[in-house]
């Protein structure tokens, strides 16, 4: 319905922030009951359903859905978890696989026709995930390295001249405890936000110049818009996967860093 209000104008207007201002599902619905919330719940159900049907009754020789899900499991284990967690990998696979699959599903819903909204482009969703990982990181760090040891290992890397710690410890603190979790959430948010905007822009160009205001000069522009929409959707599929991978990878990195101090 946002698209229609934009098209009611007489000149072409690029889509903007109104793409992300989503009203409740129907008049009188609770204010929090919006499309992204429904999509987030749907992704969780899809993920639970996928893992349940794949792993609830596993066969030694995997077939069908178990086969597919095991490929995902192997990918997360070998590419994300093992490099950072080593022998602790198996304990954390449940969490990491869930994060990877959930974020990927969130992102994928951005290009599924009709649904077409990337959940993570509302920053609240990535913030909740990143904040949970952040709390887990601090909890594990204090549990495995001691309350003082954790902050000492973090802020005072060994082997530096004494006086320089005064200058460097604040940088370590700011970097590890404030900037790292912030960028963890923002990276996912910004990629999904920008991707949605780009797709909306090119499909609007195609729609406007081919259907709304068809003119001999405008038609080629509309064709370019349609072609770019297709190309960018392919690119977006790649970015969606990449961002899910990175989000889970950084989670594994933070957990691994808390379990074992560096060097």
Partner 1 sequence: MVMPAMSEKERRPEDDGRDFANAAWSIPSYLLAGIILYGGAGWLLSRWTGVAVFTPIGVILGVVLSIYLVYRKFGR
119 binds partner 1 (CB under 8 A): no
Nearer to partner 1, 73 or 84 (CB): 84
Token pair 């959430």 is found at 185
Six-digit token pair at 23? 């009203």
Q: Closer CB to partner 1, residue 29 or residue 179?
A: 179
Neighbours of 91 (CB within 10 A): 12
* Binding flag, residue 90, partner 1 (CB under 8 A): no
Q: Using CB under 8 A, which of 159, 162, 163, 217 touches partner 1?
A: 159
179 is an interface residue for partner 1 by CB under 8 A? yes
Residue 229's Cβ-count burial label (10 Å; 0-12, 13-18, 19+) is buried
244 makes contact with partner 1 (CB under 8 A)? no
| Total of residues contacting partner 1 (CB under 8 A) | 26
Q: DSSP class of residue 10?
A: S
Cα 96 from chain centre:
13
124-145 helix and 147-155 helix, angle to the nearest 10 degrees: 110
Those residues with Cβ within 8 angstroms of residue 233's Cβ, 6 or more apart along the chain or in another chain = 111, 199
- Minimal distance, residue 100 CB to partner 1, in Å: 16
When asked if residue 126 is in the footprint of partner 1 (CB under 8 A), the reply is no
The answer to the question of residue 163 lying near partner 1 (CB under 8 A) is no
Distance, CA of 250 to CA of 239 (rounded, Å)? 16
Which 183-212 positions form the footprint of partner 1 (CB under 8 A)?
183
Q: From CA 120, how far away is CA 186, in angstroms rounded?
A: 10
The radius of gyration of the chain from alpha carbons, rounded to an integer in Å, stands at 23
User: What span, in angstroms and rounded, lies between the C-alpha atoms of 92 and 219?
Assistant: 54
Q: Is 250 in the site for partner 1 (CB under 8 A)?
A: yes
Minimum gap (Å) between residue 195 Cβ and partner 1: 21
Q: At what angle do helices 180-207 and 89-108 cross, to 10 degrees?
A: 30
Output the smallest distance, CB 252 to partner 1, in A.
Answer: 9
Query: To the nearest whole angstrom, how small is the minimum distance from the Cβ of residue 90 to partner 1?
Result: 16
| Nearest-approach distance from CB 261 to partner 1, in angstroms | 12
Q: Which of 239, 210, 235, 238 is nearest to 224 (CA)?
A: 210
Footprint of partner 1 on 128-157 (CB under 8 A): 157
> Is residue 242 near partner 1 by the rule CB under 8 A?
no
Using the minimum distance from each CB to partner 1, give the nearer residue, 10 or 262.
262
Q: Does 233 bind partner 1 (CB under 8 A)?
A: no
Residue from 82, 142, 233, 245 in contact with partner 1 (CB under 8 A)? 82
The total of other beta-carbon atoms located within 10 Å of residue 139's CB is 12
* For partner 1, the closer CB: 115 or 136: 136
Binding site residues, partner 1, CB under 8 A: 82-84, 86, 157, 159-160, 164, 167-168, 170-172, 174-176, 178-180, 183, 249-250, 253, 256-257, 262
């Amino acid at each position: 319905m946002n698209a229609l209000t934009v098209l009611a104008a007489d000149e072409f207007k690029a889509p903007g922030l109104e793409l992300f201002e989503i009203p409740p599902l129907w008049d009188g619905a609770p204010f929090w009951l919006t499309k992204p919330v429904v999509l987030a719940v749907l992704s969780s159900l899809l993920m639970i359903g996928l893992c349940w049907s794949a792993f609830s009754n596993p066969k030694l020789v995997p077939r069908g859905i178990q086969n597919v899900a095991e490929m995902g499991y192997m990918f997360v284990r070998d590419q994300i978890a093992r490099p950072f967690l080593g022998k602790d990998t198996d304990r954390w696979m449940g969490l990491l696989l869930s994060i990877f699959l959930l974020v990927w599903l969130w992102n994928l819903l951005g290009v599924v026709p009709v649904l077409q909204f990337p959940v993570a482009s509302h920053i609240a969703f990535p913030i909740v995930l990143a904040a949970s990982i952040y709390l887990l990181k601090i909890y594990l760090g204090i549990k495995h390295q001691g309350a003082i040891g954790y902050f000492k290992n973090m802020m005072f890397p060994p082997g530096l001249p004494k006086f320089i710690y005064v200058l460097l410890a604040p940088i370590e603190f700011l970097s590890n405890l404030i900037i790292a979790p912030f960028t963890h959430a923002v990276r996912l948010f910004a990629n999904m936000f920008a991707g949605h905007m780009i797709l909306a822009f090119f499909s609007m160009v195609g729609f406007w110049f081919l259907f709304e205001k068809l003119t001999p000069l405008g038609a080629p522009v509309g064709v370019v818009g349609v072609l770019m929409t297709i190309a960018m959707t392919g690119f977006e599929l790649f970015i969606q996967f990449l961002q899910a991978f990175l989000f889970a990878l950084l989670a594994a990195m933070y957990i691994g860093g808390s379990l074992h101090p560096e060097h």
